[in-house]
Amino acid sequence: MEDSKILEIGKVPETVLKRSVLKNISVIRPEVLVGSGIGEDCAALRLSDDEDIVMSCDPITATSEDIGNLCVLVTVNDLASAGASAIGLMITALLPPGSTESQLADIMKDINEACKDTNVCILGGHTEITEAVNKPLLSVTGIGKVKRGRLITTSGAKPGMDLIVTKWIGLEGSSIIAKEKEEELLSVFPKTLVDSAKKMDSMISVQKDGLIAAEHGAAAMHDVTEGGIYGALWELCEASSVGLDADLSLIPIKQETVEICEHYAIDPYKLISSGSMLIATENGEGLIQKLNESGIHASIIGKTTDSKAKIVHYDGQDKYLGAPETDELYKVL
């Protein structure tokens, strides 16, 4: 079959682009003037006078499992943390020598399904076979819009605000580990636990979390990604020049994550946690109620302070957070 042939090193041929890339792009948005197409080097958008463009950029490097879905959700999450609605993505796909057209088409199908779920348009990008990588690598630029004056930054927190964590920490890390180390984990844990951990990637989107928080009037938001909740807390506090007083026992975590992290002797609070949003806001209880009404679990874990100290309490002891370290995921993979 044509799609089982190994692709040549270099820029992917036009016939392959049409058959396995452009064919798997189905979302169209009214803001897009110029989108994906052969020979198009740029995308073009038209927005109204009262809206601002928001952009983000992220690579997916930790895993090749479900990479198409992840690249969309991680980028949409970044935009949501700014209170922005995602419009489209520019995707650079680098595949190693030996890759086939069917593998490329499968990645594009996964990307397209995630785009349909989030109403995001693929605006364009670049696709190449290269010896510079030994597994598929996707680098994504996300483009979104926000009403003028409604942009939310990581640096907007003030002392005395409630700190909220949505869903549970460690969702992405638990799912990746469960998929990459499934056979090993099944020798230790029940299949139900491993399967449950693998399915945690279904909760990775924080698009709704961010929109609800923005409507509530959140002062700062930060998607909890590499470095885990400890890293996100540090970065939000540093960006906002505030301190932190939090309770470790209030940080929401699934038992599956606890079990997997104990097995590999890693810290779940330093584990990549896409699917969880860190929010600083006045009237945290009011936001918790709105999130719960939309089916989103959320917890107040502490407050910002006017001190520089970033303190997390647990079992009568105080832990002072330091700058983020390498994510715990890499110790396992």
Size (the chain), residues: 333
Q: CB–CB of 209/82 below 8 Å? A: no
201/297 same-domain check: yes
The domain that holds 21 is classified in CATH as: 3.30.1330.10
188/100 same-domain check: no
Whether 23 is in a domain gets the answer yes
180/325 same-domain check: yes
C-alpha closest to that of 271 among 135, 202, 178 = 178
174/142 same-domain check: no
How far is 142 from 20, CA to CA, in rounded Å? 22
Give the chain's domain count: 2
C-alpha closest to that of 298 among 280, 277, 271, 313 = 277
90/229 same-domain check: no
187/324 same-domain check: yes
Q: Kindly give the confidence (pLDDT) of every residue in the chain, 333 residues in length, as a single tens digit, with 9 standing for 90 and above.
A: 456 778 888 888 889 889 998 999 899 898 888 888 887 777 778 888 899 999 999 898 877 778 999 999 999 999 999 999 999 999 999 999 999 999 999 999 999 999 999 999 999 999 999 999 999 999 999 999 999 889 998 999 999 999 999 999 999 999 999 999 999 999 999 999 999 999 999 999 999 999 999 999 999 999 999 999 999 999 999 999 999 999 999 999 999 999 999 999 999 999 999 999 999 999 999 999 999 999 999 999 999 999 989 999 998 899 999 988 889 999 998
* Structure-block tokens of residue 50: 């009262």
How far is 46 from 97, CA to CA, in rounded Å? 38
Parallel, antiparallel or unpaired: strands 162-166 and 220-223 = unpaired
Boundary of a domain, candidates 147, 182, 206: 147
User: 263, exposed or middle or buried, with CB in 10 Å at 0-12, 13-18, 19+?
Assistant: middle
The whole-number pLDDT of residue 1 equals 47
Q: What single DSSP character describes residue 156?
A: -
Which residue segment(s) compose the domain that 60 sits in?
2-147
Helix (H, G, I), strand (E, B) or coil at 284: helix
Whether 157 is in a domain gets the answer no
* Structure-block tokens of residue 128: 């190449």
Residue type at 82 in one-letter notation: A
The domain that holds 166 is classified in CATH as: 3.90.650.10
Whether 269 is in a domain gets the answer yes
The whole-number pLDDT of residue 2 equals 54
Whether 152 is in a domain gets the answer no
193/307 same-domain check: yes
C-alpha closest to that of 226 among 69, 108, 70 = 70
The whole-number pLDDT of residue 39 equals 72
How far is 107 from 114, CA to CA, in rounded Å? 11
255/286 same-domain check: yes
H or E stretch covering 121: strand 121-129
176/298 same-domain check: yes
CA torsion 143-149-154-159 (nearest 10°) is: -170
